[in-house]
């Protein structure tokens, strides 16, 4: 495959992709030298099954959250279209007829999640309102010509009732058609006339089937050109009686953007109704509640991993989809790096798999730090049995997995109960969202923190109605749980509710006679709570008798404190927690929080880190001559402070490259230097010179040219012949 040319260079020949076949099964990647295990295939299958279940749960949750929004949106579209049809029969409604029904759909700043929402919305609208639904993006519609081209082409492709070769129908040729509003109106007229009448179904009403509207969805309304929107809205409003149009604006910021982009003369032609989706934080709380704060899925993550995922969510994109992908990466990494993750499944299946564990897997159990601490607490006889008898070890492992499952059931019930008591306190000492409380409980014993003590003090100053509301929420949590092992706790909560309800008028009179303290309990703002705290301390100092309500409130707070201390122990205290918990936050951070400058410096300064070639290993400060040319040039470039002499740089490069060939490159004139050295040096010099110029103006990162040139070579391990 030689190539002749006037100028010598590097030529790329496309490989024959048809001959390439993936011969290695995917599950074999789980079986590496680092973590070789006979259960690699089973671990991969377990990972696939669990991820499919988690993915189905998140998709079902997304549908539930969007259901109310879609229902109200569909109701608005149906009423608007029926109203337009009734108004079109009476010419006295011309002013009303010119207003285009418009739904302003505020989705939030999580732009990466918008595609899934619009995809579901399009499917629902096609099934319930009209078959003519078009979605457009601003990047595809820079002017009116492209706007009409995208709109008409999508409409004509979705039309299935009219044949293009029929007489009187609109024939479409993508290359020669002149796209205009007249063509759009003629197409709709042809569709409504030629379409056969259909009986109304259970979903569609007769009103929509007679002349279905055209729903135009603008996914990113803020990015559209103002002139395009103005012209299209103005023309469409004048032909609503012959072309019923409904607009849906996808808005990421605020509905005010409509009036900023459109003048009053144009915005007055729109009949706008606002629709708001669920906030990103509430959606995240729902995902955590259904995926992590449940025993349905045995896989769990540690506090640091959860902190990494939530920080990316809160400080980068607010994307639920990216959070779920990070969760998937954590699940994959856990099953890949932990051989005992084969037991991370349903409890009956995990107990069955323990019976078939090999001797190596039993050794892995003995190496777990949590299991070693558990063995140290046993009697000497049991210690010997666990360390020497494989059957005793498996029986103990089954018992510990049962205890771990019961621990999670009680843990999540106590966590939700504590959250109901502390989520509405002033200044939220334990956080407003349950994820904040969950992170605090995962990290340490929460009752040792100052925030927990502050929360208990505030709970001791609440009014009766507030305490009863919190107790009712806790009671509903225990009732909704399918695995309620805390029956005594649920009964105790019911008893507290009954005692609060039994407080009669005598108790109120007793509270009134207790002085100003009872008055301060009627309000829960921070000022009155602090004032009540001082009064309560003064009351205790004077040894005054507490009322029945105060005694009962103190019992409730003590009950909550005991519940927390008994069941909210950190996961590290439980034996075999490593089987189900993923804690390698640094690995997750490397994958999700990319640092391109550090990665590129490492690749250029130490190519062995990525290429894994033993010949590239060298001592610090040495430059091996077999390293990639750009790595040699980069290391020589680092030896200069600010300015670099190109001749000295080239001579140093030639010296390093020819070090193994006993050639005195310094004695030879530069014009007689071998072309084998010239080309790689020139190509590397172009990149390094660009880096030097870029560093002078911006010292924060590498230029994009550097990334494009070096990344394919270092990550694939392939270099052109002239660069080797």
pLDDT digits (tens, 9 = 90+) for 349-376: 999 999 999 999 999 999 999 999 999 9
Does residue 238 surpass a pLDDT of 90? Answer: no
Please give the Cα distance from 187 to 172 (Å, whole number): 10
Closest to 424 (Cα-Cα) out of 526, 493, 519:
526
pLDDT digits (tens, 9 = 90+) for 196-213: 544 344 444 434 446 788
595 to 243, 313, 590: CA distances (angstroms): 53, 17, 8
Question: Which helix (H) or strand (E) covers residue 249, if one does?
Answer: strand 245-251
Token pair 């409509």 in the structure block, residue: 258
At 2 the pLDDT is: 52
| More confident site: 622 or 19 | 622
| Residue 445 pLDDT level (bands cut at 50, 70, 90) | very high
**Can you list the alpha helix ranges (DSSP code H) found in 161-313?**
181-194, 206-210, 226-237, 256-261, 264-267, 280-291, 303-312
Does residue 166 surpass a pLDDT of 60? Answer: no
Backbone angles phi, psi at 641, to 5 degrees: -80, -70
pLDDT digits (tens, 9 = 90+) for 630-661: 888 888 888 776 677 777 788 888 888 877 55
At 708 the pLDDT is: 36
At 204 the pLDDT is: 46
Does residue 307 surpass a pLDDT of 50? Answer: yes
At 349 the pLDDT is: 95
Q: Where do the structural domains in the chain lie, given as residue ranges?
A: 57-195+206-275, 279-445+569-588, 460-568, 594-723
Does residue 120 surpass a pLDDT of 80? Answer: yes
pLDDT digits (tens, 9 = 90+) for 401-422: 999 999 999 999 999 999 999 9
pLDDT, averaged across the chain: 79
Please give the Cα distance from 713 to 628 (Å, whole number): 9
At 555 the pLDDT is: 93
Chain length of the chain: 724
665: exposed, middle or buried (Cβ count in 10 Å: 0-12, 13-18, 19+): buried
* pLDDT above 70 as % of the chain: 74
Q: Which residues, 6+ apart, have CB-to-CB distance to 520 below 8 Å? A: 461, 528, 529, 531, 532, 535
Mean pLDDT of all residues in 441-445:
93
* pLDDT above 90 as % of the chain: 48
Does residue 627 surpass a pLDDT of 90? Answer: no
**Which SS3 state, helix, strand or coil, does residue 103 take?**
strand
The dotted CATH code for 57-195+206-275 is: 3.40.50
Please give the Cα distance from 397 to 368 (Å, whole number): 12
């Amino acid at each position: 495959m030689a190539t002749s040319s006037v100028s010598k260079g590097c030529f790329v020949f496309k490989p024959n992709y048809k001959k390439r076949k993936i011969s290695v099964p995917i599950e074999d990647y789980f079986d590496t030298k680092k973590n070789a295990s006979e259960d690699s295939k089973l671990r991969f299958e377990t990972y696939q099954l669990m991820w499919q279940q988690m993915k189905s749960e998140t998709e079902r949750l997304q549908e539930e959250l969007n259901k109310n929004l879609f229902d109200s949106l569909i109701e608005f579209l149906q009423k608007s279209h029926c109203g337009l049809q009734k108004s079109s029969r009476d010419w006295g409604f011309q002013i009303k007829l010119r207003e285009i029904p418009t739904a302003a759909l505020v989705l939030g700043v999580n732009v990466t999640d918008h595609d899934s929402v619009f995809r579901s919305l399009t499917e629902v609208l096609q099934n319930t309102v009209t078959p003519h639904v078009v979605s457009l993006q601003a990047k595809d519609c820079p002017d009116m010509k492209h706007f009409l081209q995208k709109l008409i082409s999508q409409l004509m492709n979705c039309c299935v009732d009219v044949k293009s070769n029929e007489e009187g129908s609109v024939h479409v040729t993508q290359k020669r058609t002149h796209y205009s509003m007249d063509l759009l109106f003629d197409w709709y007229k042809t569709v409504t006339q030629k379409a056969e009448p259909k009986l109304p179904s259970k979903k569609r009403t007769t009103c929509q089937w007679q002349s279905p509207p055209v729903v135009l969805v603008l996914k990113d309304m803020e990015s559209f050109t103002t002139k395009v929107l103005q012209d299209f809205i103005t023309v469409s409003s004048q032909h609503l009686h012959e072309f019923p149009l409904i607009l849906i604006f996808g808005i990421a910021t605020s509905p005010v953007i409509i009036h900023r982009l459109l003048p009053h003369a144009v915005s007055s032609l729109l009949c706008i109704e606002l629709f708001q989706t669920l906030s990103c934080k509430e959606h995240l709380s729902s995902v955590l509640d259904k995926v992590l704060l449940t025993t349905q899925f045995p896989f769990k993550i540690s506090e640091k991993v959860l902190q990494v995922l939530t920080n990316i969510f809160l400080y980068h994109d607010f994307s639920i989809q990216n959070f779920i992908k990070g969760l998937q990466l954590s699940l994959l990494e856990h099953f890949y790096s932990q051989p005992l993750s084969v037991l991370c499944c349903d409890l009956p299946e995990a107990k069955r798999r323990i019976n078939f564990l090999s001797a190596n897997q039993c050794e892995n159990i003995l190496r777990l730090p949590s299991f070693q601490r558990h063995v140290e607490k046993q009697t000497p006889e049991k210690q010997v049995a666990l360390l020497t008898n494989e059957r005793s070890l498996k029986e103990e492992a089954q018992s510990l997995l049962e205890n771990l499952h019961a621990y999670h059931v009680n843990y999540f019930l106590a966590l939700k109960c504590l959250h109901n008591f502390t989520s509405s306190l002033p200044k939220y000492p334990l956080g407003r969202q349950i994820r904040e409380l969950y992170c605090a409980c995962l990290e340490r014993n929460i009752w040792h923190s100052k925030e927990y003590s502050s929360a208990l003090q505030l709970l001791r100053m609440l009014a009766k109605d507030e305490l009863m509301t919190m107790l009712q929420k806790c009671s509903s949590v225990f009732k909704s749980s399918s695995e309620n092992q805390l029956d005594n706790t649920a009964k105790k909560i019911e008893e507290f509710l009954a005692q609060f309800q039994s407080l009669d008028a005598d108790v109120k009179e007793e509270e009134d006679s207790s002085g100003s303290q009872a008055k301060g309990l009627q309000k829960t703002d921070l000022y009155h709570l602090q004032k009540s705290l001082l009064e309560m301390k003064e009351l205790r100092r004077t040894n005054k008798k507490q009322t029945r309500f105060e005694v009962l409130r103190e019992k409730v707070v003590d009950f909550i404190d005991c519940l927390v201390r008994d069941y909210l122990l950190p996961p590290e205290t439980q034996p075999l927690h490593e089987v189900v918990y993923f804690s390698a936050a640094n690995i997750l951070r490397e994958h999700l929080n990319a640092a391109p400058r550090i990665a590129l410096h490492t690749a250029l300064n130490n190519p062995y880190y990525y290429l894994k070639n033993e010949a590239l290993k060298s001592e610090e400060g040495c430059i091996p001559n077999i390293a990639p040319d750009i790595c040699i040039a980069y290391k020589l470039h680092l030896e200069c402070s600010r300015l670099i002499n190109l001749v000295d740089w080239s001579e140093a490069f030639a010296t390093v490259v020819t070090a193994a060939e006993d050639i005195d490159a310094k004695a030879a004139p530069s014009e007689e230097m071998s072309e084998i050295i010239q080309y790689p040096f020139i190509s590397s010099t172009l990149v390094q010179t660009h880096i030097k110029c870029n560093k002078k103006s911006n010292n924060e990162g590498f230029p994009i040219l550097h990334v494009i040139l070096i990344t394919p070579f270092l990550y694939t391990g392939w270099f052109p012949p002239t660069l080797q």
